[in-house]
Chain A
Amino acid sequence: MSLDSTGTVTPYSPSDELAGTIPLPPSLAAYADEPERLPTDEVIVNMGPSHPAMHGTVRIVARLDGELIKDADVQVGYLHRGFEKECEAATYTQIFPYVDRLNYVSAMLNNVGYAMAVEKLLGITDRIPERAEYIRVIVGELSRISDHLTCIVASLAELGGLTTFFWGNRAREHVWELLEDVSGARLTYSYCRIGGVAWDLTPDFADKARVKLTKIADYVADVRKLVERNRIFLDRMEGVGVISKEDAISYGFTGPCLRACGVAYDVRKDHPYSVYDHFDFDVPIAHGGDNLARYLVRIEEIYQSMSIIEQALAQIPPGPIIMDDPAIALPAKREVYNTIEGMIAHFKHIMEGIRVPPGEAYSYTEAANGELGFFIVSDGTGRPYKCRCRPPCFYITSALRDMILGANVADVVPIFGSINMIGGECDR
């Protein structure tokens, strides 16, 4: 980056600086036109599906001219588990463990997204207890922090910054300890229920969370200090993996990747759901559309999520955490063991599932990677007729070919890291 006398900023480009500035030594003068004289063949290189630098199982078949990527075929599907087919055979409650395994780095957000889709179909969106909504926001934003941290530090590790990887994972450990306190699990929580959440927060949750948030902020600050003025990092991120705003919209980008192209679309702001309209937060955008822009947007979103959590902890009201409706929520264990009504309600709930009226609904929430949509078609039974998940990173990965064309082989890794493709969600 350089400033001229008029104050215009010229983006830094290593090739401009080097072009013509390094003369060949006289002994090599005869080889000056070598690139034109030597016959060169294109090489097909196969990256993945199981490759140490690919943190999802994806295969890229690239046609290379030297280091340059001339053409590429991105192949996904190696982690396809038949999510939709399994859902069609499961009751609405049994689907929670399946949605945990979509984006397994921020499983809480999938839980919330799916629960809200079924609640929309049941018509009970405005009957969810307010405390449950706040708990969903808190655990969801914690998950978002964990997802962004994972994306950032994993791609930094691939660029050689292993220290940041350890620091970021320590910060993530704090998030997971909090979520473990709440749900009992560290990765796949199955914590939400239709009509609320499974358990209340622990009594000391708020104090613990405040302490841990400051620790996470310290770790994030440390990571930023190491990389943001680092020449190697900037060279690998700035101007690499650029996608234009128009292409990003046409490819169906959402989330941090779209906001890095200058489009301030965030479901939490544009179509507020749950209690997100109670909080004061910003939607960060960047204008480069490159790796660096995506990194910056994610860093800022971590701070915004922390602010949302702090506001939610201050505002959270007391009260029930799940609807008191035997047709939707499981009765309390006390009731199940001691009353015949409770026992029958429990049996019907487990064996037949929640009866959802026939119809269809598309519900969308802001997950860590973008708009996570669930399109559910019900035929009136306890199992969905169709349960389509709209995975944000499937659409982002579909643009990977355009983003790596013309780049160097070594750029594939940071580009792929910065779009944060999660195999479980992309392939379902």
Chain B
Amino acid sequence: MAERLLDLLLAELPDAVVEVGSYLGDEIALVHRDRVRDVLTLLRDHESSKMDMLVDLTVVDYLGQSPRFEVVYHLRSTTFGHRLRVKAGVPEDDPTIASVADLWKSANWSEREAWDLYGVRFEGHPDLRRILMYGAFEGHPLRKDYPQNARQPLVRRPDAPPTDELTTRLRLHSHDRRVE
């Protein structure tokens, strides 16, 4: 079933595909970064593929290789039940790729997560904010050059009361002498 998908890709968009293959029973297509939207739109809309579900979107950081990042899309069709993994390389000096948040609604949060943790920007995303980390966090923690044991300073919430008021409140409500 899925081999037909790869044939479809090669027939319809031969110039967008870098290579296709199969590994451990998973069908994989590596495509050019600037054609990823064409490929995914074709896979979603073509009547013999109908991949209406973007199961997962993630990034792999191959530090030291070129291109450094690889954006990985896992697609599934609820009509036919077939699956496909689409990958696109993203270089380190320009970590951007087109957003597919308008093709599948699930891409909205997963692209936010990919931006948050890997720093790959999704061009055209309606609301590219951090999602798992907090706004003042610096860097992208799942990049391979981000140390596992790195610490970042505690940040104050923008709506938190000033320090002196907070201390007074804590002193009033605390039986713990160490607060004073």
Residues of A within 8 A of B (CB): 75-77, 80, 82, 84-86, 88-89, 120-121, 123, 247, 249-252, 254, 263, 265, 270-271, 359-362, 364, 371, 373, 375, 377, 385-386, 388, 390, 394-395, 397-399, 427-428
Contacts and interface: CB of A to CB of B under 8 A. Distances in A.
17 contacts: A77-B130, A77-B134, A80-B133, A85-B141, A85-B148, A89-B148, A250-B52, A251-B105, A252-B53, A252-B105, A361-B26, A362-B26, A362-B56, A362-B85, A375-B56, A388-B56, A399-B105
B10 interface: no
Nearest to A74: B109
A76 B26 contact: no
A121 B23 CA distance: 10
B31 to A, nearest CB: 16
B78 A249 contact: yes
Interface string B119-154: 000000000001111100000011000001000000
A208 B133 CA distance: 45
A120 B105 CA distance: 30
Contacts of B141: 82, 85
Nearest to A427: B132
A377 B87 CA distance: 13
B88 to A, nearest CB: 15
Given A375-B58, A398-B106, A398-B109, A362 B74 contact: yes
B24 A123 contact: yes
Contact of B148 (A88, A375, A399): A88
B105 A398 contact: yes
B132 to A, nearest CB: 4
Nearest to B103: A250
A76 B132 contact: yes
Given A361-B26, A377-B60, 16 more contacts: A80-B133, A88-B148, A121-B24, A249-B52, A250-B106, A251-B106, A252-B104, A270-B81, A359-B24, A362-B26, A373-B55, A375-B72, A390-B55, A398-B108, A398-B109, A399-B105
B54 interface: yes
Given A252-B104, A394-B109, A120 B134 contact: no
B78 A361 contact: no
For chain B, which range describes its interface: under 10, 10 to 19, 20 to 34, or 35 or more residues? 20 to 34
A84 B144 CA distance: 11
Interface in B11-31: 23-26
* For the complex of A and B, 3 pairs with smallest distance between CB atoms: A252-B106, A398-B109, A77-B132
Interface in B47-66: 52-56, 58, 60-61
Interface in B61-112: 61, 72, 74, 78, 81, 85, 104-106, 108-110
Contacts of B117: 84
Contacts of A386: 60-61
B53 A249 contact: yes
Contacts of A359: 23-24
Nearest to B56: A390
Nearest to B61: A386
Contacts of B130: 77
A395 to B, nearest CB: 5
A127 to B, nearest CB: 14
A89 B130 CA distance: 24
A184 B74 CA distance: 37
Contacts of B110: 394-395
A347 to B, nearest CB: 24
B74 A265 contact: no
Contacts of A385: 60
A46 B49 CA distance: 43
Contacts of A86: 148
B24 A120 contact: yes
A272 B109 CA distance: 29
Nearest to B58: A388
Contacts of A76: 131-132
Contacts of A252: 53-56, 104-106
A252 B52 CA distance: 9
A345 B55 CA distance: 39
A250 B105 contact: yes
Contacts of B58: 375, 388, 390
A361 B74 contact: no
Given A359-B24, A362-B26, A398-B108, A80 B54 contact: no
Nearest to B72: A375
B132 A428 contact: yes
Contacts of A394: 109-110, 113
Contacts of A388: 56, 58
B49 to A, nearest CB: 15
A403 B19 CA distance: 40
A382 B53 CA distance: 33
Given A252-B106, A394-B109, A80 B81 contact: no
B78 A263 contact: yes
